[in-house]
Amino acid sequence: MLNKNFYSLFAGTLGLLLSACTGAQQNSPGAGTPSLRETFRNDFLIGTALNVPQIEERDPKAAALIPLQFNAVTPENIMKAEVIHPQWDKYNFEMGDKLVAYAQKNNMKVNAHTLIWHSQLPAFVRNIKDADSIKQFFTNHINTVAAHYDGKVFSWDVVNEALEEDGSLRKSIFLQKLGEDYIVEAFRLAQKASPHSELYYNDYNIEQPRKRAGAIALIKKIQAAGVRIDGVGIQGHWRAYNISLKDIEESIREFSALGIKVMFTELDLGVLPNPWDSDAADVNKKAEYNAKMNPYPTGLPDSIQSKLNKGYKDLFTLFLKYKGKIGRVTFWGVNDGQSWLNNWPIQGRTNYPLLFDREFKPKQAFYSVIETKTTKAGKKDN
Ligand code: G3I
């Protein structure tokens, strides 16, 4: 662990500089702490997912910390179809527009999430039975939403989670009604409606060989059709004690060999037992609460904390090795209290997957990440 005095000195100066750039208060909880966005500024963007209270800056601690630490933001829910397109001919851009303004004010890039996803669809879509109406929804949705944010967001997750674990196409409403070319079509429409945004395919577990092969086939198909795809997002919902660095490294190599950027888009490292012993992030899978499945309600034991620290250290060491191929690393949330992993796959647990604790204080894992850059080994990488 690096010496704390060193950090105070280093970060005090940084805090001042950053406050000037971002408009944050110098005596905020962020002052005196190193900055992720500054530490990795020459390597890749550092992002976070934001929820409504954070976009509206309702909590002063979050409002002070976020602009100091992150230079990229992804809306956790507010650009999903059920929110942004609640009725057939009604769009709700209010929160998305607030996010764009927030990002501009704080000099951050917006990764818009997400245009085509089988989950969090508006109720009216789930009730449509005929293929023509689904096609019309699909076309109108991409045309209207992507065009509204053209030039305002840096990138779009055009299609999210279209693959099954074996690499085949997920049997979603879009596959069933539109056929297997719907993904190429989604990118074609997005490219036209939002020519100034980068366009990505985003999914979980695509670092694993079978699903990765499916993602590669899908990306090649988009490219072969002469349609633009700029990057792939590997979500990164992993468990702290079970990260396959080999799979991740192979994925960075194989995806970047297709001529596209690699992003880690929803990073969090869960520490709680998993009822099914799998890393899938399928939000529709849920299990019942029992106390055994919530072993750390009041704090994380040192032994588990060390695993979390090591997981993050190993990952960022790998990310730095491939910094030329990685465009962004985004955490799925700002602090542990806000993480979706407190409520999935079991409601009401206490998880610790992020770099800031429930009081927005940097955890040991935060310093493990910073250290990958500031230790001797990290510096060689500069
Ligand atoms: O909007 C309602 C609100 O009206 C209600 O009061 C509240 C009560 O529970 O629920 C609210 O909806 C919740 C919504 O988040 C907004 O907070 C849903 O119950 C909840 O299921 C939903 O969870 C989101 C999940 O996607 C749903 O699919 C998580 O916040 C979000 O982190 C998660 O994000 C996904 C990525 O988009 C794609 N990859 C996997 C990732 C994790 O599941």
Q: Is the Cβ atom of 77 under 6 angstroms away from ligand 1?
A: yes
Residue 12 clears pLDDT 70, i.e. is over it: no
Q: Is the Cβ atom of 279 under 6 angstroms away from ligand 1?
A: no
Residues catalogued as catalytic: 161, 266
Residue ranges with strand state E in the chain: 45-50, 72-75, 109-116, 155-160, 198-203, 231-234, 237-239, 261-270, 326-331
pTM, whole model, 2 decimals?
0.91
Contacts of residue 299, Cβ cutoff 8 Å, sequence gap at least 6: none
Q: Is the Cβ atom of 242 under 6 angstroms away from ligand 1?
A: no
Query: What does the DSSP 8-state code read for residue 343?
Result: S
Q: Is the Cβ atom of 343 under 6 angstroms away from ligand 1?
A: no
- Summarize pLDDT for 143-175 with one digit per residue, the tens: 999 999 999 999 999 999 999 999 999 999 999
Could you give the domains of the chain? 40-381 (3.20.20.80)
Q: What is the mean pLDDT of the chain?
A: 91
Residue 25 clears pLDDT 70, i.e. is over it: no
Q: Under the phi-then-psi rule, with left for phi > 0, alpha for psi from -120 to 50, and beta for the rest, what region is 87?
A: beta
Q: Rounded to the nearest whole angstrom, what is the distance from the C-alpha of residue 35 to the centroid of ligand 1?
A: 28
Residue 77 clears pLDDT 90, i.e. is over it: yes
Q: Rounded to the nearest whole angstrom, what is the distance from the C-alpha of residue 361 to the centroid of ligand 1?
A: 24
What CA–CA distance (Å, rounded) separates 140 from 290?
44
Q: How confident is the model at residue 342 (pLDDT cuts 50, 70, 90)?
A: very high
